Amino acid sequence: MSNLRTLNWCKLDIEDKNFIIGFCQEKIAFLSFGESALADLLSFSKKYKVVLNEKNDLIYLSTKILESYFKNELKLAIEDFYFFGTDFQLNVWKTAFDIPWGKTTTYWEISKKINNPNAVRAVGSALGKNNILLLIPCHRVISKNGSINFRLGANIKTGLINQEKNKINHS
């Protein structure tokens, strides 16, 4: 009997961006977008030893999830996610999940919320390893001094933050 888990995934285009979303045991386990999405998926598969299974029948569900996200109408609970990571990373990601749409917080604030105020760099590292971009909103976390880092690029992170704020201001 194999210990390997299966990640069912699909590729789709929304809002002029290409996305890859993956599900493990019917829960969202992976989301990446942009030019690196496929490379991110392959790296994820290798790191966590998951079997990749492309399933086009996930496109409808995945489209609904992402369209709801971009309209600020997404209703997901933390239980809707399947996480691959350490206990510390899960704690950080679950805390980031609670950041309201269109708002930002700092790595330091998250470190305080997880009762580890000296772990600011570790929080940043954990957020940098987030496998469920957008839905676990690591893009809403910035440095205390306002500087912005994001593995897909600071311009992408700034764009996401501004897009969320603009949709709130025009609602």
Tens digit of each residue's pLDDT, the chain (171 residues): 456 799 999 999 987 889 999 999 999 999 999 989 999 999 999 999 999 999 999 999 999 999 999 888 889 999 999 999 999 999 999 999 999 988 999 999 999 999 999 999 999 999 999 999 999 999 999 888 766 766 766 777 777 777 887 776 665
Mark whether 74 and 100 lie in a shared domain: no
Mark whether 74 and 101 lie in a shared domain: no
Of 73, 68, 144, whose CA–CA distance to 104 is shortest?
144
Q: Write down the catalytic residue from 123, 138, 141, 152.
A: 138
Q: Residue 115's domain is classified under what CATH number?
A: 1.10.10.10
Mark whether 92 and 162 lie in a shared domain: yes
Q: Residue 44's domain is classified under what CATH number?
A: 3.30.160
**Number of domains forming the structure of the chain:** 2
Mark whether 72 and 94 lie in a shared domain: no
Mark whether 93 and 32 lie in a shared domain: no
Say which residues have a Cβ less than 8 Å from residue 22's Cβ, sequence separation at least 6: 7, 8, 9, 28, 29, 30, 31, 41, 44, 52
Mark whether 163 and 91 lie in a shared domain: yes
Mark whether 61 and 103 lie in a shared domain: no
> Is 138 one of the catalytic residues?
yes
Mark whether 70 and 110 lie in a shared domain: no
How far apart CA 16 and CA 35 sit, in angstroms, is: 12
Mark whether 122 and 51 lie in a shared domain: no
Can you list the pairs that 103-108 forms with residues at least 24 positions away whose Cβ atoms lie under 8 Å? Answer: 103/140, 104/140, 104/141, 104/142, 104/161, 105/140, 105/141, 105/142, 106/141, 106/142, 106/143, 106/144, 107/141, 107/142, 107/143, 107/144, 108/144
**What pLDDT score does 72 carry?**
87
Mark whether 28 and 48 lie in a shared domain: yes
Say which residues have a Cβ less than 8 Å from residue 32's Cβ, sequence separation at least 6: 19, 20, 40, 41, 131, 133
**What pLDDT score does 171 carry?**
54
How far apart CA 146 and CA 127 sit, in angstroms, is: 16
Say which residues have a Cβ less than 8 Å from residue 77's Cβ, sequence separation at least 6: none
Q: Is the pTM of this model over 0.85?
A: yes
Token pair for residue 133?
């971009």
**What pLDDT score does 113 carry?**
97
**What pLDDT score does 129 carry?**
95
Token pair for residue 16?
């002029």
* Residue range of the domain that includes 24: 5-78
